[in-house]
Structure 1
Amino acid sequence: MSAFSISKFIITDFLSSTTTQASASPKFPCFPLLQKSVSFPHSASHSQRKIVTFVSSKSSEAEEVPAAEDEWLNRLPDKNKPLYSHSLPCIEAWLRSLGFYQSREDRAVWLIEKPDWHAHLSLDVTDLYIRYLKSGPGNLERDMERRFSYALSREDIENAILGGP
């Protein structure tokens, strides 16, 4: 089930030959937008498309996300268990609890900004990678990357990551 509720649906018809300005999504500055283009193969014209815009209220998101996150944090296996024994929602809740936030461009990339360093963490198929960025605070001469096997315990990975570059 989704971590946030959908308070409104807005469905807009348009032809693909319309200008980009006409096909732009409606602007609601106080609502975050999630837009998905859906094609209907049995429609009268192949150029006709539907745009479905999901609009959700920030206040309902703010109420539901911490409750869902607390649930996944409560389900975390023992900190001495290997990371591969954790479910993805548990790993995501754990990363958020450490101060990471998820990248909008790539859901497998997590970012953190500490006073002494900034880093990107990537959840790869076989390993977890963290790249400490020279563009952040501190005096790194270049980006520094470390790789951790999912066979390591959550506690060991946490200590290594938060130890910094």
Structure 2
Amino acid sequence: MFTISSSTFTNTISSSFPSSISSPIFSQNPIFHTTLFSKPFLFHNPLSIALRKPTTATVFCKSSEASAESEEPSVPEDEWLQKLPEKTKPLYSHSLPCIEAWLKSLGFNQSKDDRAQWFVNKPDWHAHLSLDATDIYIRYLKSGPGNLEKDMERRFSYALSREDIENAVLGGP
């Protein structure tokens, strides 16, 4: 704690203002007068809370060699494929790692820039798939093989079964 003695504050107002201002008003009610602080004024140190024993955390950094490797969790995707619910269950009942493993098994590749974007190159068409908050969007690209006149987009609700979405997506444009 910090203490401020009563002698620290003085009535400096009367010396800094003209006498017409300081005489009647400020002589009766001085702002910092020594009689107002008869006891030491205590301030609590705002940093005293931070003086507790700090908690430690371990931070792991990848070396430059490890950055070339995959950034996937250590659990193999085959394990997530085994944890997939039945094909007839709605997709919203699947965990995200299960959905990602399922998309990889269908031939989709995840974007490194945006983890919600997936790409697939089939012999007859190319597409981008996006996992949105409420729906799955797939855009079949006219730049890929096939005879699309323009990009074609479809939207599927997570309430549809995995089997239905798989059949619709892999059916192509």
TM-score, normalised via structure 1 length: 0.62
Of residues 101, 108, 115, the one that matches 2:109 is: 101
Report the residue type matching 1:73 in the other structure.
L
1:22 maps to what in 2?
A: none
2:91 maps to what in 1?
A: 83
1:156 maps to what in 2?
A: 164
Taking structure 1 as reference, are residues 60 and 119 closer, same or farther at Cα in structure 2, changes over 3 Å only? closer
Taking structure 1 as reference, are residues 145 and 71 closer, same or farther at Cα in structure 2, changes over 3 Å only? same
Larger Rg: 1 or 2?
A: 2
Report the residue type matching 1:72 in the other structure.
W
Taking structure 1 as reference, are residues 143 and 100 closer, same or farther at Cα in structure 2, changes over 3 Å only? same
Q: SS of the residue aligned with 1:54?
A: coil
**Backbone CA RMSD of aligned residues:** 2.4
The alpha carbon displacement at 1:135 in A equals 0.6
Matches within 5 A, 1:1-165: 54-55=62-63, 56-57=65-66, 68-165=76-173
2:52 maps to what in 1?
A: none
Provide structure 1 residue ranges, at least 5 long, that are not aligned to the other structure.
Answer: 1-51
Q: Which is richer in strand? A: 1
Report the residue type matching 2:136 in the other structure.
L
Provide structure 2 residue ranges, at least 5 long, that are not aligned to the other structure.
Answer: 1-59
**Alignment length, in residue pairs?**
112
Q: SS of the residue aligned with 2:105?
A: helix
TM-score, normalised via structure 2 length: 0.60
Divergent runs of 4+, >4 A:
56-61
Taking structure 1 as reference, are residues 131 and 59 closer, same or farther at Cα in structure 2, changes over 3 Å only? closer
CA–CA separation in structure 1 for the residues paired with 2:154 and 2:69? 38
Taking structure 1 as reference, are residues 140 and 59 closer, same or farther at Cα in structure 2, changes over 3 Å only? closer
CA offsets 1:130-155 (integer angstroms, 9 cap, x no match)? 00000111110000000000000000
Structure possessing the higher relative contact order (Cα contacts under 8 Å, 6 or more residues apart) = 1
CA–CA separation in structure 1 for the residues paired with 2:139 and 2:159? 19
